[in-house]
A and B are shown apart, each in its own frame.
Chain A
Amino acid sequence: MASSSSSSLDRVSWRALVLSRHLQQPTDSSFQSLESSVCLQYSPPEGNLEFDVREMRKLNDGHNFEDRDWLFGLLIQSNLFCPRNSGGKIFVSADYNQSMEQQREITMKRIRFLLDRGVFKGWVTDRSPEGELRKLALLDVLGIFDHSLAIKIGVHFFLWGGAIQFFGTKRHHEKWLKDTEGYLVTGCFAMTELGHGSNVRGIETITTYDSNTGEFVINTPSESAQKYWIGGAANHATHTIVFSQLNINGRNQGVHAFIAQIRDLDGNICPNIRIADCGHKIGLNGVDNGRIWFDNVRIPRENLLNSVADVSPDGQYLSSIKDPDQRFAAFMAPLTSGRVTLSTSAIYTSKIGLAIAIRYSLSRRAFSVSGSGPEVLLLDYPSHQRRLIPLLAKTYAMGFAGNYLKKIYVTRTPKTSKTLHIVSSAFKSTFSWHNMRTLQECREACGGQGLKTENRVGNLKGEFDVQTTFEGDNNVLMQQVSKTLLAEYISAQKRKRPFQGFGLEHMNDPSPVIPAQLSSSVLRSTKFQMDIFCLRERDLLKRFAADVSQREAQEGKAYAFLLSYQLAEDLARAYTERTVLQAFFESETCLSEGPHKNVLGLLRSMYAMICLEEDASFLRYGYLSIENAATVRKEVMKLCSELRPHALSLVGTSNWSSMSRYYGALWYTSWVPAGVLQFRLRVTVGYEDGKWVLAPKVLPADRKAGVIYDMGVQISDIAKEGCSHCDKGQWK
């Protein structure tokens, strides 16, 4: 009893000591509190980069640079976008710690702000290619700030507005487009149902026509027919596009789109409409996804979007396209915009992740190679280069490919719609997968710092994950790519005509021959790279066609394609990577000789090499010998070290850095007094215990920047919680 009370007295006085030390600030000015570690010092290289980052930024962004800068500036200068000053730079990023309700409200407030500043001018009324490019550029910027903001705006302008533009006719344009641009109506897009997502043609919502009143009657016949994931439906939308089967005189005419009002101007839900909230999500909580049921909702006959088919006042179905399959395809073709914007937003997000991880790897050191030597910068480890630099090269390649996709999107004609469909499907899937993989690698490459919300990468993973499944499930879209290529192949064979379109023209030439011995210079030549990508594509297409036809004979037509899924996957990948490489090559060709072209050449070769290394097809089907595959692997390593010096500049263009962190966890001294410096460190565990350790060696007065000085501090003890009764505060 006695000993216990004495020990508790000890404990009290020890705690008092700990607390008083904690409160006491060192006043002796010869002690610098430890803020700095020489090995973490970092000087932002300004002005003296290997190449002109302004030019590189232009190549990356491709178009509307001034519009982008203007919008970035608009975000930075408004408190609505949570500006945070760090090291003299303003960083804006949405606050994901807000509740779902708060995120939804602030997203809508941001939209109102942007509307007032004229950001959306011409978004649905200007259909020129220039107008479309401007819109795409501004949406890129908004997506860099926050995915929810971009998606919420995308739903209103691209889906609701786009449906009216493309499925509607003059009467709809006149009535709705101007109001849409001014947000006098807020639109949503009710396509997906609980039971049917990617398979739009299977939706169950049903619409009939009442010729007595001249109205359509929309109904949700079952629970699986409820509209699901409808962005904007839960809180803000006043109107929706409804996708529904149209039943006229007992005959089903397939899927059609209608306009229905779901809320009045005061925000009250309209009669016969039921709405529920989809709830909290792993990301994108600024978008109010909802569920909608239609209980025999009546809408005027004019609300049918009648670009391909109409119903006369007396109830006759009229359509210029007789075949329902073709009618559906014509109907859906204009809706590629979603996949176009998702493709580019995936790339911009990968850029954010890589800019953060690469900057961190250039400021953080770990372990020294020789015992007493300086610790090594993360990016100077070949293995760390191998983790990040190939992803950087892929991101560059996909960035150029994204610009190519935008170009074919804004100049689309009915003739190019099939190409646009498969390129956008292939890119949306591949880029969104690439983005998720890149973000995960970047998060790990930042070590513990990657875990902080402030680092952004972790949040981005949640925010962008949805891209792999919305606007068409990635796997389904990739199968569609192969299916389309197969149809083209069969048609060319049947009619004995040359291949035309989809970039398959190379199939008309004799099969390329790959040299038996691959040297570094051959590996880096555009000819070799294009040859081997084309070889893979043509061979896989032939194999796929043969496989499907063989299975057709055995299993029947319907099942054959499904069973060939492995080759379908390989082929879609081959098609995508060849298209990306070609886009990269074409962007590179327009450049004049100089440092940009050199570094882009390295990146292009890296892209080609990493595809060769990662896709097992090259070995599986023998496009590369085992020996050559090993040569390729060596080349990847060589390219990593050649690209290493450019790493910072490559993520240093303003479109890479303007919304990302400057520093990881860097300590730096704000004010370094002249003369000899002595350091002391406070080593703590838990909250308030700790011990001051005095560095035995001093930092000399004639110290040089960038040189590492050993302060001679060695901590050999294991830190313990200070409240343990056996801890007397005596450290070894």
Chain B
Amino acid sequence: MASGNSTNDRGNEVLVKENLNVRTLILNRPRQLNALSFQMVSQLLELFLAYEKDSTVSLLIMKGEGRAFCAGGDVATLVRDVAKGHWRLGAKFFWTEFILNYVIATYTKPQVSILNGIVMGGGAGVSIHGRFRVATENSVFAMPETSLGLFPDVGASYFLSRLPGFFGEYVGLTGARLDGAEMLACGLATHFVPAMRLPLLEDALSKVNTSDPAVVSAIIDEFSQEPALKDKSAYHRLDIIDWCFSRRSVEEILSALEGEAAKGTDDWISTTIQSLKKASPTSLKNSLRLFREGRLQGVGRCLIQEYRVCCHVLRKEISKDFFEGCRAILLDKDRNPKWEPSQLELISDNMVERYFSKVDDEEWEDLKFPARSNLPVHAMAKL
């Protein structure tokens, strides 16, 4: 979630490098950590659709300019737009972004994302759904939306819910940061390549003239390593994560964690509890419900549901937490959001249900995807 002013060089926010059968898409807003503007998601969508039809293109590479891959959607601009005008401006951003996520998730040609730096929120949306995700020692992955009053979107209810056990609930609810080794271990990344070998990898990939994933995978394999997990990695705690985060409700998850904390001092558990307590209670409840439904649905249904929740969030009818979160974290930067409702117990199932219902507005419609005819089965699931 990067903040920042819009840049002057709108036209160059996505750079394209052409190389025989390979196209490299470079997210190019380094000062905003490559946060996705509306312009960028629209351009990416156009490019993806065009390359799918273009038989000379067999492989896409996506990477970021500078030290981030992509820090998320350009939320600050979004919030300003919504404040100025109608909530629909914001909805249009999410609409386009989610369609892009869907196209990536169902893409017929391989995409290699080089995640050499920050990958958060919307950045995960344009990479994790793709076929190959290359992490490095510089990778930092997080879905920090619950602390912003939003929820892990961009299809996270699909890909987080498919991580081993209940690791996805942990990552999505607490906003915990993962490094490259952890990304590889849990499956968010498919490969780990040391950053210094990236130029060689890109060079090798630029010569690819087939869409055969086995060929692409073999090339990346040549540069890959098996990094060791840090001793303190949360991934070593899968047992405890499964035990606590498999509970039926956020309240029960918290009390299971507190039960574990009572057994002895443990920094990791207290940090985890703290993150949950700092997050928007409404966000936590919406997120958990999205993960639980998403685990049983295809990526399309997940995005449709996320879009509904997004629209309700933008309309501020049920809670204004997203705008309060942006104020506290991105604008005023007092880092002290006043969530409303302030307690998990004050949020009834009915309130959550309202977020999941259709928006009561004649002009509103559910997310609609472009036709993807004869999808091969692999296009539906790459994780």
A contacts, CB < 8 Å to B:
41, 43-44, 46-48, 52, 54, 66-67, 69-70, 72-74, 76-78, 87-89, 116-118, 654, 658, 662-663, 668-675, 701, 705-706
Knowing A47-B369, A118-B248 are in contact, say whether A654-B304 is a contact too (CB < 8 A): no
What string of 1s and 0s marks CB contacts (under 8 Å) between B196-220 and chain A?
A: 0000000000000011110000000
Complex A-B: 25 CB contacts under 8 Å: A43-B372, A43-B373, A44-B380, A47-B366, A47-B367, A52-B358, A54-B301, A54-B305, A76-B296, A77-B165, A77-B242, A87-B377, A87-B380, A88-B298, A88-B380, A88-B381, A88-B382, A89-B381, A117-B247, A662-B377, A668-B376, A670-B376, A671-B213, A672-B376, A701-B55
Determine whether the beta carbon of A41 is less than 8 Å from that of B300.
no
Knowing A47-B368, A48-B368, A88-B380 are in contact, say whether A41-B374 is a contact too (CB < 8 A): yes
B contacts, CB < 8 Å to A:
55, 108, 161, 164-166, 210-213, 242-243, 246-248, 252, 289, 291-293, 295-301, 304-305, 349, 358, 366-369, 372-378, 380-383
Knowing A47-B304, A671-B213 are in contact, say whether A72-B296 is a contact too (CB < 8 A): yes
Our pick among B295, B296, B378 for the contact of A670 (Cβ within 8 Å) is B378
B162's closest neighbor in chain A, by CB?
Answer: A90
Determine whether the beta carbon of A88 is less than 8 Å from that of B377.
yes
The B interface is mostly helix, strand or loop, or mixed, namely loop
Q: A87-B381, A671-B213 are in contact. List 4 more A-B contacts (CB 8 A).
A: A44-B380, A52-B358, A54-B305, A77-B165
A654's closest neighbor in chain B, by CB?
Answer: B296
Q: Nearest chain B CB to A377's CB is how many angstroms away?
A: 15
Determine whether the beta carbon of A77 is less than 8 Å from that of B374.
no
Q: Which residues from chain B contact A69 at a C-beta distance below 8 Å?
A: 292-293, 295-296
Determine whether the beta carbon of B55 is less than 8 Å from that of A675.
yes
B211's closest neighbor in chain A, by CB?
Answer: A671
Determine whether the beta carbon of A66 is less than 8 Å from that of B349.
yes
A119's closest neighbor in chain B, by CB?
Answer: B248
Q: Which residues from chain A contact B376 at a C-beta distance below 8 Å?
A: 668-672
Q: Nearest chain A CB to B252's CB is how many angstroms away?
A: 7
**In the bound complex, how far is the Cα of B212 from the Cα of A89, in angstroms?**
22
Q: Nearest chain A CB to B357's CB is how many angstroms away?
A: 10
**In the bound complex, how far is the Cα of B375 from the Cα of A706, in angstroms?**
11
Q: Which residues from chain A contact B297 at a C-beta distance below 8 Å?
A: 654
Q: Nearest chain B CB to A75's CB is how many angstroms away?
A: 10
Determine whether the beta carbon of A46 is less than 8 Å from that of B298.
yes
Q: Nearest chain A CB to B176's CB is how many angstroms away?
A: 18
Determine whether the beta carbon of A66 is less than 8 Å from that of B289.
yes
B383's closest neighbor in chain A, by CB?
Answer: A88
Q: Nearest chain A CB to B9's CB is how many angstroms away?
A: 35
Top 5 A-B residue pairs of the complex, sorted by shortest distance between their CB atoms: A88-B381, A46-B300, A705-B374, A87-B377, A674-B55
**In the bound complex, how far is the Cα of B301 from the Cα of A658, in angstroms?**
13
Q: Which residues from chain A contact B296 at a C-beta distance below 8 Å?
A: 69, 72-73, 76, 654, 658
Determine whether the beta carbon of B248 is less than 8 Å from that of A67.
yes
Determine whether the beta carbon of B161 is less than 8 Å from that of A73.
yes
Q: Which residues from chain B contact A706 at a C-beta distance below 8 Å?
A: 373-374
Q: Which residues from chain A contact B381 at a C-beta distance below 8 Å?
A: 87-89
Determine whether the beta carbon of A44 is less than 8 Å from that of B292.
no
Q: Which residues from chain B contact A654 at a C-beta distance below 8 Å?
A: 296-297
Determine whether the beta carbon of A673 is less than 8 Å from that of B211.
yes
Task: Please indicate which of the listed interface residues B213, B358, B377 has the most CB atoms of chain A within 10 Å of its own CB.
Answer: B377
Knowing A66-B349, A89-B381, A671-B212 are in contact, say whether A73-B295 is a contact too (CB < 8 A): yes
Q: Nearest chain A CB to B253's CB is how many angstroms away?
A: 11
Q: Nearest chain A CB to B58's CB is how many angstroms away?
A: 8
B248's closest neighbor in chain A, by CB?
Answer: A70
Q: Which residues from chain B contact A662 at a C-beta distance below 8 Å?
A: 377
**In the bound complex, how far is the Cα of B165 from the Cα of A69, in angstroms?**
15
Q: Which residues from chain B contact A74 at a C-beta distance below 8 Å?
A: 246
Knowing A47-B368, A67-B248, A118-B247 are in contact, say whether A76-B295 is a contact too (CB < 8 A): yes
Q: Which residues from chain A contact B292 at a C-beta distance below 8 Å?
A: 66, 69-70, 73
Q: Which residues from chain B contact A672 at a C-beta distance below 8 Å?
A: 108, 376
